[in-house]
Each structure stands twice: as structure tokens, then as C-alpha cells.
Amino acid sequence: MSSEEHEHEGEHEHEDEEALTECPECGAEITGEESLESKTVPELRVDSGSVYAKGKNDLWLCKGCRATLGVKLRER
């Protein structure tokens, strides 16, 4: 048996967490909440051709170009 150090590749359970340092749309520097704008939108569910609004979601927008950068996680 050789070393097991190279056999971890199948066990990656990392979530896609990448530091967002700039807006992918306009390139504005993102340094934290101060660079973002939050917006509340209804959470939509599509069910056999109809769209239902259920609950609310918070989105993070770029303060510069207002591109949607992600979903704001709610604390429980």
C-alpha cells in the first residue's frame, strides 16, 4: 500500500464557499455588508405551470450595479 494522502478526492464535502471580493458584473470591490444592498423578495415556487409566492427571501445586491450577488441567509 502506498500513502493514503492522495486518496481524499472522493470525499470532498466542501460547500461552494468562495470569498467574493468583487462584483462579477461591474468589478466593484466588495468588502463586506457595506458594499452590498439587501432586498427582500418573495420566494417563488413553480408548481405545474403556476407560480406561487411563499414566504420571503433576502437577496444581496451589488451597491454599484444592483446585480444580484446571492441570497441572504436568515438567522433562525
Whether the Cβ atoms of residue 56 and residue 38 lie closer than 8 Å to each other: no
Cell reading at 64: 454599484
Helix (H, G, I), strand (E, B) or coil at 49: coil
From candidates 58, 59, 61, 64, binder to Zn ion by CB under 5 A: 64
Q: Does 23 bind Zn ion (CB under 5 A)?
A: yes
Q: Does 30 bind Zn ion (CB under 5 A)?
A: no
Query: What minimum distance in Å lies between the beta carbon of 22 and Zn ion?
Result: 8
Return the number of the residue (60 or 62) whose C-beta is nearest Zn ion. 62
DSSP string, 6-28: G--GGG----------B-TTT--
Q: Does 25 bind Zn ion (CB under 5 A)?
A: yes
The binding site for Zn ion (CB under 5 A) comprises: 23, 25-26, 28, 62, 64-65, 67
